[in-house]
């Protein structure tokens, strides 16, 4: 036995990703006395600027946006009671196909080995028992999410640590409900074309392929408030439109695929730390 606290490390691409996909588990496990470490890989400079100005438009200053988003990220961490925030501060690569994908210093252009070596240092320092990041497609194909996946898996190989490792996901049964809710709260939202609809239908996993279902209902208010802390990106955060009560109804469970395990804990499981306590 050791006095070292159980530790969860979540590796995310941008400020606000920590709240969207893992805000519930970060808040829940912090409340249970588990050390929660957030690694944010990029500076978020491709987000909206003041007044909703978009990247590439007059008045958009990526450096100023990055500073603003760091303050928002720190506020979100306070809401979620995150123990430790680590920022790799790579330049935000933007959405797939944007010129910023190929900009010098962008996360997408950074060699995987370089990013992984920096993350491996953090892993050796914090020695996480559980690591959470995205799947190979970054859940929905964002370049920085894909790169976060790549450096995380490479860092785990470098460190030879044996934590439980999870990828965030969404059950297909829930994706349909999200689509209905998005149309409900975005009445002017056009119907997607068939190609987009087919692509959306491939996001997430069939329910039976999801290994881990964590009830975070009691922390959905914190998750909502953490998202709201990213006020500059409110136009892009659909969930804020539905209000806290409806948000809690839809977002009370966070789901994951367990991809590495040394505990032998049975699946499906309802606790990322099953087999560790």
In whole angstroms, what is the distance from residue 226 CA to residue 24 CA? 10
Q: Is the dihedral of CA 70, 75, 80, 82 positive or negative?
A: positive
The strand order across the sheet containing 7-12 reads 84-90, 35-42, 7-12, 130-133, 164-169, 253-260, 212-215
- Tell me the pLDDT of the chain (277 aa) as tens digits: 457 899 999 999 999 999 998 999 999 999 999 999 999 999 999 999 988 899 889 999 999 999 999 999 999 999 999 999 999 999 999 888 888 888 888 999 999 999 999 999 999 999 999 999 999 998 888 999 999 999 999 999 999 888 899 999 988 877 666 666 666 666 555 555 555 555 555 677 888 899 999 999 999 999 999 999 999 988 777 778 888 888 888 888 999 999 999 999 999 999 999 999 9
The predicted pLDDT at position 2 comes to: 56
255 contacts 203 by C-beta, under 8 angstroms: no
Tell me how far apart the alpha carbons of residues 23 and 82 are, in angstroms, rounded to a whole number. 10
pLDDT score recorded for residue 1 = 45
Helix (H) or strand (E) holding 79: helix 62-80
CA distance 40 to 151: 12
CA distance readout (Å), 97 to 62, 143, 262 = 18, 9, 39
What sign does the dihedral 139-37-4-161 (CA atoms) show? positive
Which pLDDT value is given to residue 25?
98
pLDDT value of residue 201: 56
Q: Do the Cβ atoms of 118 and 88 come closer than 8 Å? A: yes
């Amino acid at each position: 036995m050791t006095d070292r606290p159980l530790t969860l490390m979540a590796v995310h691409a941008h400020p606000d990703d920590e709240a969207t996909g893992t805000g519930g588990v970060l808040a829940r496990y912090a409340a249970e006395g588990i050390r929660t470490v957030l690694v944010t890989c990029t500076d978020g400079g491709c987000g909206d600027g003041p007044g909703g100005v978009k990247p590439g438009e007059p008045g958009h200053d990526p450096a100023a946006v990055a500073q603003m988003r760091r303050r928002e990220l720190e506020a979100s961490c306070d809401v979620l009671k995150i123990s430790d925030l680590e920022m790799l501060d790579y330049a935000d690569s933007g959405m797939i196909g944007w010129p910023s994908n190929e900009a010098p210093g962008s996360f997408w252009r950074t060699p995987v080995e370089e990013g992984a070596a920096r993350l491996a240092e953090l892993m050796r320092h914090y020695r996480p028992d559980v690591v959470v990041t995205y799947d190979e497609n970054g859940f929905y194909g964002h370049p920085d999410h894909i790169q976060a996946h790549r450096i995380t898996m490479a860092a785990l190989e470098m460190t030879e640590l044996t934590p439980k490792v999870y990828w965030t996901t969404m059950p297909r049964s829930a994706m349909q409900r999200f689509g209905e809710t998005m149309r409900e709260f975005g009445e002017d939202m056009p119907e997607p074309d068939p190609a987009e609809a087919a692509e959306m239908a491939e996001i997430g996993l069939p329910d039976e392929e999801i290994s881990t279902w964590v009830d975070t209902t009691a922390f959905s208010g914190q998750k909502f408030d953490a998202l709201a802390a990213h006020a500059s990106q409110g136009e892009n955060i659909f969930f804020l439109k539905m209000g806290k009560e409806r948000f809690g109804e839809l977002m009370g469970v966070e789901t994951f695929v367990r991809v590495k395990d040394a505990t032998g804990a049975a699946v499906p499981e309802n606790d990322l730390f099953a087999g560790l306590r």
